[in-house]
Chain A
Amino acid sequence: QLQLQESGPGLVKPSETLSLTCTVSGGSISSSSYYWGWIRQPPGKGLEWIGSIYYSGSTYYNPSLKSRVTISVDTSKNQFSLKLSSVTAADTAVYYCARHVTVTRPNFDYWGQGTLVTVSS
């Protein structure tokens, strides 16, 4: 059974960089069939796609976040990571990692449990 697990600091200071890692178990991140994405949800609000990556390193980002986002993959560790720079309170959210079949089909079928990241001094 495929499992995804987010990890990283739960508290980040304003203007700093948020860094999270998603560890995939029960399957290979190098599978040619899947993309791996990050989605966030501010408290009490809806879902927002941050971006996705293919095991080869091809990335796709939300245009509204593109200037601040970097998603990378480490196939040797079966992990992919998110970096969001220059964070503000508006970046406070539960961050989820998830898998989807193709980049143009956001059918995220496996999700991590989510991790709350609070931006505060």
Chain B
Amino acid sequence: QSVLTQPPSASGTPGQRVTISCSGSSSNIGSNTVNWYQQLPGTAPKLLIYSNNQRPSGVPDRFSGSKSGTSASLAISGLQSEDEADYYCAAWDDSLNGHVVFGGGTKLTVL
């Protein structure tokens, strides 16, 4: 059971806009920034969004992040077949002397 809650799956067709949610609490998302990772099959995760809505260099602007209260969302517009991957949210949790928490991951399927 992950501290951050994500839907296990999401899907969309090419060109569509898809959103993935990440729900937490006041001790994590509610008081700290959220990061998003993309993990393609058989590879290490890749930082997709940091500090709620910032994209690292090289990440297409089709990917965007937002945060409101104790929830965050990742939006992917203009969905492409290569976006099919697992997506994880992560945040710092202030409880228990502080620790990093991840969401359980969302498998995105491009139909």
Min C-beta distance of A79 to chain B, whole Å: 18
Min C-beta distance of B97 to chain A, whole Å: 7
Q: Is there an interface contact between A107 and B104, defined as CB atoms closer than 8 Å?
A: no
Within 8 A of B (CB), among A47-95: 47-49, 52, 60-63
CA–CA, A77 and B102, complex, Å: 30
Binding site for B on A (CB under 8 A): 37, 39, 46-49, 52, 60-63, 96, 98, 103-109, 111-114
A112 proximity list for chain B (CB < 8 A): 44
Binding site for A on B (CB under 8 A): 2, 32-33, 35, 37, 43-47, 50-51, 56, 88, 90-92, 96-105
Min C-beta distance of A58 to chain B, whole Å: 12
Min C-beta distance of B110 to chain A, whole Å: 20
CA–CA, A109 and B91, complex, Å: 14
Partner of B90, one of A60, A63, A96, A106: A106
Chain A residue nearest in CB terms to B57:
A109
Chain A residue nearest in CB terms to B97:
A63
A47 proximity list for chain B (CB < 8 A): 37, 45, 88, 90, 102, 105
A104 proximity list for chain B (CB < 8 A): 32, 92, 98
Chain A at the B interface: mostly helix, strand, loop or mixed?
strand
Given known contacts A49-B101, A61-B99, A103-B98, is B50 in contact with A113 (CB within 8 Å)? no
Q: Is there an interface contact between B51 and A62, defined as CB atoms closer than 8 Å?
A: no
CA–CA, A63 and B98, complex, Å: 9
Partner of B102, one of A46, A113, A114: A46
Supply 22 A–B pairs (Cβ within 8 Å), ascending by A: A37-B100, A39-B45, A47-B37, A47-B45, A47-B105, A48-B102, A49-B102, A61-B99, A62-B99, A98-B44, A104-B32, A105-B35, A105-B51, A106-B90, A106-B91, A107-B35, A107-B50, A108-B47, A108-B90, A109-B56, A111-B46, A113-B43
